[in-house]
Amino acid sequence: NAGVTQTPKFRILKIGQSMTLQCTQDMNHNYMYWYRQDPGMGLKLIYYSVGAGITDKGEVPNGYNVSRSTTEDFPLRLELAAPSQTSVYFCASSPGQGAGTEAFFGQGTRLTVV
């Protein structure tokens, strides 16, 4: 079972470029999330989705956009990349049966903006 799959694993962007981080899950989970991880800061929620067609902002949404056209996919779009977006990005999913259900994480995408 693949779980949560993120692509690419690594990427270097130039300032002002744009890109899409891909995330797909094969567990038929309703809830999906994007977090960013910065050293010594833990993980911060960027955006989340509770089902196809429904997305909402998290704690640090500026500079990012998301869409959820299917249950499986939850891509994260970076427009006009900035050095402050250098980070490790994690996608996660959860069955959504209750707030205490476990979130399953992908392997992460390490992004560097130069």
Partner 1 sequence: AQSVTQLDSQVPVFEEAPVELRCNYSSSVSVYLFWYVQYPNQGLQLLLKYLSGSTLVKGINGFEAEFNKSQTSFHLRKPSVHISDTAEYFCAVSNAGGTSYGKLTFGQGTILTVHP
> Which chain residues interact with partner 1 by CB under 8 A?
4, 31, 33, 35, 40-45, 48, 50, 58, 90, 92, 94, 96, 98-103, 105-108
In angstroms, give the least distance from the CB of 45 to partner 1.
6
Give, as one character, the DSSP assignment of residue 102: P
Q: Please say which residue, 18 or 97, places its beta carbon nearer to partner 1.
A: 97
Amino acid at 114: V
Q: Please say which residue, 45 or 82, places its beta carbon nearer to partner 1.
A: 45
In angstroms, give the least distance from the CB of 102 to partner 1.
5
What span, in angstroms and rounded, lies between the C-alpha atoms of 11 and 13? 6
Q: Please say which residue, 20 or 37, places its beta carbon nearer to partner 1.
A: 37
In angstroms, give the least distance from the CB of 89 to partner 1.
11
Q: Considering just the CA atoms, what is the radius of gyration of the chain in Å?
A: 13
Q: What is the DSSP string of 26-83?
A: SS--SEEEEEEEETTTEEEEEEEEEETTEEEE-S--TTEEE--SSSSB--EEE-S--G
Q: Please say which residue, 28 or 42, places its beta carbon nearer to partner 1.
A: 42
